């Protein structure tokens, strides 16, 4: 089979589209032929050598894809030809992937492969942030960083669907337009006084801020009201400065973290949560923006686009 691989760490130029051996199924695994693969910053970080990798070169990155079952062992709930997707199984940047059956998510006939591959990882992230990290309530005012990014656009839509008013923060007017289109009530720019904008948007500050930038964390704490909450879930802009816990005590504010893998602990977790996302897509409450589709053979170009941060939405690889 063909796969997008790398044997050394570096820029997109280290990626190689090459022939590799088909996966060897282990007990409880299902063979999936991929139709659409989601590209994520984690794939970039692995290529750069910033994330842990197991095994030996050539490495195959990727954790998210949608496709059809090519082989399922006896007793499996899946059958050959079933439409499936997954968000947390390795070696997805290939034509075939061996996936533990508990990590497979049945894909309804009315959800396209592209939509599933573009939605699951980031959609499940946005979902748990607005449900588990800070359960968004109707009438709240919330701030969403990087509001035109993959997770950001979905966060804006989910928070709005839950009845909140959303202030997005973006880096450009073009991205601000996308956040407004997704349902943000207002958008502030990073090179302006976005903390002031948050305090004007909601007197005293917003109820919650979702921060995926990291370096903005102290300012996010300034933007939330007394008794408000900041959810920290990413470091796209660099490591966050240390936070003095006395600030939290003096202002009765809460700082919490968020990691998807702490809530996706079982097959029912994955499938129930994914089914809720599919239902939101079905009724038009959630729209998935695809920034670009690249043949798997042109994976280096896809990586370059993602790293440029010029894209808004999801970048897909197509075998």
- Residue 96, pLDDT score: 98
51: confidence class by pLDDT, cuts 50, 70, 90: confident
- Residue 136, pLDDT score: 98
Q: Are residues 92 and 197 in the same domain?
A: no
Whole-number average pLDDT of the chain = 95
Number of separate domains in the chain? 2
Range of the domain at 185: 138-257
Per-residue model confidence as pLDDT tens digits over 70-86: 999 999 999 999 999 99
**Higher confidence at residue 285 or residue 236?**
285
Q: Are residues 253 and 278 in the same domain?
A: no
Per-residue model confidence as pLDDT tens digits over 82-140: 999 999 999 999 999 999 999 999 999 999 999 999 999 999 999 999 999 999 999 99
- Residue 311, pLDDT score: 75
Per-residue model confidence as pLDDT tens digits over 2-29: 999 999 999 999 999 999 999 999 999 9
309: confidence class by pLDDT, cuts 50, 70, 90: confident
Q: Are residues 195 and 250 in the same domain?
A: yes
CATH code assigned at 196: 3.40.50.720
Does residue 261 surpass a pLDDT of 90? no
Does residue 235 surpass a pLDDT of 90? no
CATH code assigned at 29: 3.90.180.10
Please identify, among 238, 257, 276, the residue that sits at the C-terminal boundary of a domain.
Answer: 257
Share of the chain above pLDDT 90, in %: 88
- Residue 163, pLDDT score: 98
Does residue 52 surpass a pLDDT of 80? no
Q: Are residues 208 and 312 in the same domain?
A: no
State the pTM of this model: 0.93
- Bridging pattern class, strands 105-106 and 141-144: unpaired
Please identify, among 212, 232, 257, the residue that sits at the C-terminal boundary of a domain.
Answer: 257
Is 73 within the bounds of a domain? yes
237: confidence class by pLDDT, cuts 50, 70, 90: confident
60: confidence class by pLDDT, cuts 50, 70, 90: very high
Does residue 297 surpass a pLDDT of 90? yes
Computed over its alpha carbons, how large is the radius of gyration of the chain? 20
- Residue 262, pLDDT score: 87
Is 127 within the bounds of a domain? no
């Amino acid at each position: 089979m063909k796969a997008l691989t790398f044997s050394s760490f570096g820029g997109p130029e280290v990626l190689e589209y090459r022939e590799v051996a088909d996966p060897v199924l282990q007990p409880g695994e299902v063979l999936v032929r991929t139709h659409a693969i989601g590209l994520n910053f984690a794939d970039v970080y692995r290529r750069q050598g910033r994330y842990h990798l197991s095994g030996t070169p050539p490495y195959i990155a990727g954790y998210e894809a949608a496709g059809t079952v090519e082989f399922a062992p006896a007793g499996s709930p899946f059958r050959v030809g079933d439409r499936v997707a997954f968000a947390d199984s390795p070696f997805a940047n290939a034509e075939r992937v061996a996936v533990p059956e508990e990590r497979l998510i049945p894909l309804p006939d009315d959800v396209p492969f592209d939509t599933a591959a573009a939605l699951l990882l980031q959609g499940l992230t946005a979902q748990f942030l607005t449900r588990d990290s800070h359960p968004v309530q109707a009438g709240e005012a919330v701030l969403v960083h990087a509001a035109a990014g993959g997770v950001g656009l979905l966060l804006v839509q989910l928070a709005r669907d839950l009845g909140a008013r959303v202030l997005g923060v973006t880096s450009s007017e073009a991205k601000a337009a996308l956040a407004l289109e997704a349902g943000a009530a207002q958008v502030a720019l990073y090179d302006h006084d976005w903390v002031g904008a948050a305090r004007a948007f909601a007197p005293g500050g917003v109820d919650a801020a979702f921060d995926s930038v990291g370096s903005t964390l102290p300012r996010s704490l300034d933007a939330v009201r007394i008794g408000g909450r900041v959810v920290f879930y990413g470091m796209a802009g660099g490591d966050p400065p240390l936070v003095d816990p006395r600030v939290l005590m003096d202002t009765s504010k809460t700082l919490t973290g968020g990691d998807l893998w702490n809530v996706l602990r079982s097959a029912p977790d994955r499938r129930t949560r994914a089914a809720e996302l599919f239902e939101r897509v079905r009724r038009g409450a959630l729209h998935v923006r695809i920034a670009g589709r690249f043949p798997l053979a042109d994976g280096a170009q896809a990586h370059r686009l993602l790293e440029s941060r010029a894209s808004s939405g999801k970048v897909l690889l197509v075998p």
